[in-house]
Amino acid sequence: MQRLESKLDLDCVTVTGRSVGENVATAEVFDEEVIRSVDDPVHPYGGIAVLEGSLAPTGAVIKQVAVDESLWKFEGPAKVFDSEEEATEAVFSKGIEPGDVVVIRYEGPKGGPGMREMQMFRALLKFGGLDNKVYLITDGRFSGYTGGACIGYLSPEAAEGGPLALIRDGDVITIDVESRKLDVKLSDEELERRAKEWKRPPPRVTAGYLARYAERATSAATGAIVR
């Protein structure tokens, strides 16, 4: 906080009864490589980026610092799976190839339900020899530990009928991290036609708290909260 004091309201009173400025006045930095100054950041850009486009009208999140810059622009055919389990089977059966964009959908707040964690699948790709060779896109979430070419929190999610629900194997997906874009090469007319044909899959959980959550949860873009 002392490093950021030029960005803070130092007069704000805190729970200590003292101001922010008073709280951080005696703080020391013992290792400049661990806590950098504002003028000497680890990266010239932030840790994460929000991408938008025809595949994520209200946003998706990528941990850009964990993606090799050679992959900041990527284009490939979609390999579509309706659950993490289906995608996992495809890895073991060699159903995913270098250059693919792996789409795991119906894992968002409503679909999961609960916005399931996809980090283990990302690790599976790495150990399966596909690290930096494919992209992973999902309406599920990732932990802070996750690294590599993966985009999550896609909104609106597939269970809400978002564009992710309309993607088919072979559709070409384009990713441009620098331009903050995530698109599918389909016309608006084709997406509208598919949307009319789409049918919501039955819920995975039909009783208890998770069923209530799935019914009421909002999009990841608005916090996946219950209203």
Structure confidence by residue, pLDDT tens digits, 41-89: 888 888 899 999 999 999 999 999 999 999 999 999 999 999 999 999 9
Name the residue ranges covered by the structural domains of the chain. Answer: 1-42, 49-222
pTM for the whole structure? 0.85
pLDDT of residue 38: 87
Instruction: Identify the CATH number of the domain defined by range 49-222.
Output: 3.50.30.80
Contact 101, 137 (CB under 8 A): yes
Residue among 191, 10, 221 nearest 183 (CA): 191
- Residue of 70, 93, 143, 155 marked active site: 143
**H or E element, residue 125:** helix 119-127
Active site residue 143: yes
Q: What percent of the chain has pLDDT over 70?
A: 100
Q: What are the pLDDT digits (tens) for 90-109?
A: 999 999 999 999 999 999 99
Question: Does 143 or 169 have the greater pLDDT score?
Answer: 169
| Phi and psi, residue 126, nearest 5° | -65, -50
Helix (H, G, I), strand (E, B) or coil at 6: helix
pLDDT of residue 48: 92
DSSP classification of residue 58: E
